[in-house]
Amino acid sequence: MTHFDVIVPIYRVQPDLVEECLASVRNQTHEDWTCWIVDGTPLDWEHYETLSQMIDNFTSSDERFRLIRQDFDQYPGVSGARNQAIEAGDSSWIAFLDGDDWWFPENLGWVDEDLQDSHPDTVVSWTASKVEIELTSPKGWTRKSEHIASHFDHDRLRQDLGHGYWFIMGHPPMTSQVVVRRDRFTEVKGFDQTLQMAEDTECWIRMLGSPLESQPTYRFHQIDAVGGFHRLGDNQTINGGLQTSASFNATDPDAPDRDSAFDRFSTQVRSVIGSQHPRPDPNPPNDMDADYWAWLRTASGGIGRSRFLMGNDPNANQVDFDDGRQIWV
């Protein structure tokens, strides 16, 4: 049976959402875990006392819950929050869960069962996520939808050694459904604390290693199950360069301007990925057929967030674009 360190970063998350999140950890059918709650919420936040008391109810009633106060000087942002909590634990496998998401009771059990049979080179694994999107336009109308994310076509997706690097670059799994192997995470020095967006994707591809460079490459594994629930919307956790997602609350006077902050964060991501990760070559690696390589190069453009960050059009059969979003110059 696998013991997991569960990492839950919190920054001004509504107390009822955090309670739902932590209760979902407590209700796991797989009971061998330690949950590290790393809280960076300002002490003068209007809901801080309620949040603090609620967290105390969990830590005082179940010793598997541990609270850490985020050290912003040494561990800034959501990357720092996760890194700080990970350093406090010692489990061989690390599971991530943001404070406004939650798991179905079987999630860790499914992951544990899968890890028993997975390839020894597997360093990143995940379950799918049910996603709820609720956005309010400046004109006042609200759009709400649900879909399943982080579950990709097995007929097309090969989980072969080295191939996942390009796929995950364009189609990153939801962080709250990801588990990683501690030794490899430590080897690549964890999350990049200079990034305020896509820090998770950038970490996963470093863990997998590039098949185009003379370095070891590792495997990922997609678990065929929906393990959790993820929220996207106006009331999602604010980061502003602090915590946790790249969504912003337009009704919050302290929130950064959405467009300018997103531009700043995405420029930052493109700079890091463009300088530290190799550009896909038009010619396939020796062990890959040309059709599959062409698909992977297109897939690295991704959808949604990743399409914007990578500067690639998912409908095109190339990765070379000359607009301002181009990542490799």
pTM of the complete model beyond 0.95: no
Cα(first)–Cα(last) distance of the chain, in Å? 47
More confident residue, 161 or 250: 161
Whose tokens are 């990760």? That residue is 277
**C-beta separation of 90 from 12 below 8 A:** no
More confident residue, 153 or 146: 146
- Can you tell me the distance from the alpha carbon of 171 to that of 158, in angstroms, rounded to the nearest whole number? 14
**C-beta separation of 40 from 81 below 8 A:** yes
Does 321 score more than 50 pLDDT?
Answer: no
More confident residue, 112 or 134: 112
Angle separating helix axes 199-208 and 258-276, nearest 10 degrees: 10
What is the structure's pLDDT at 220? 87
Helices (H) and strands (E) in the chain, counts: 10, 9
- Can you tell me the distance from the alpha carbon of 52 to that of 15, in angstroms, rounded to the nearest whole number? 9
What is the structure's pLDDT at 247? 36
For the ranges 174-178, 284-288, 296-300, 305-309, the lowest mean pLDDT is seen at 305-309
- Can you tell me the distance from the alpha carbon of 72 to that of 84, in angstroms, rounded to the nearest whole number? 10
**C-beta separation of 204 from 178 below 8 A:** yes
What is the structure's pLDDT at 308? 38
**Burial (0-12, 13-18, 19+ Cβ within 10 Å), 315:** exposed
- Can you tell me the distance from the alpha carbon of 4 to that of 54, in angstroms, rounded to the nearest whole number? 23
What is the structure's pLDDT at 262? 60
- Can you tell me the distance from the alpha carbon of 149 to that of 154, in angstroms, rounded to the nearest whole number? 14
Rg (CA), the chain: 19
Per-residue model confidence as pLDDT tens digits over 175-200: 999 999 999 999 999 999 988 777 89
249 falls in which pLDDT band (50, 70, 90)? very low
What is the structure's pLDDT at 144? 72
% of the chain with per-residue pLDDT over 90: 44
**C-beta separation of 309 from 267 below 8 A:** no
131 falls in which pLDDT band (50, 70, 90)? confident
169 falls in which pLDDT band (50, 70, 90)? confident
Per-residue model confidence as pLDDT tens digits over 89-125: 999 999 999 999 999 999 999 999 999 988 888 999 9
What is the structure's pLDDT at 245? 38
Give, in words, the CATH class of 4-240.
alpha beta
For residues 1-22, average pLDDT: 96
Does 257 score more than 70 pLDDT?
Answer: no
Per-residue model confidence as pLDDT tens digits over 277-288: 766 666 776 667
What is the structure's pLDDT at 240? 35
More confident residue, 204 or 159: 204
Mean pLDDT value across the chain: 78
What is the structure's pLDDT at 280? 63
Whose tokens are 């300002």? That residue is 42
Q: Retrieve residue 202's tokens.
A: 């950038």
What is the structure's pLDDT at 317? 39
H or E segment to which residue 293 belongs: helix 290-299
**In the chain, where the domains are located:** 4-240
Residue 281 vs residues 258, 290, 328: alpha-carbon distances, Å: 34, 11, 12
**C-beta separation of 301 from 327 below 8 A:** no
For residues 119-143, average pLDDT: 79
- Can you tell me the distance from the alpha carbon of 95 to that of 192, in angstroms, rounded to the nearest whole number? 18
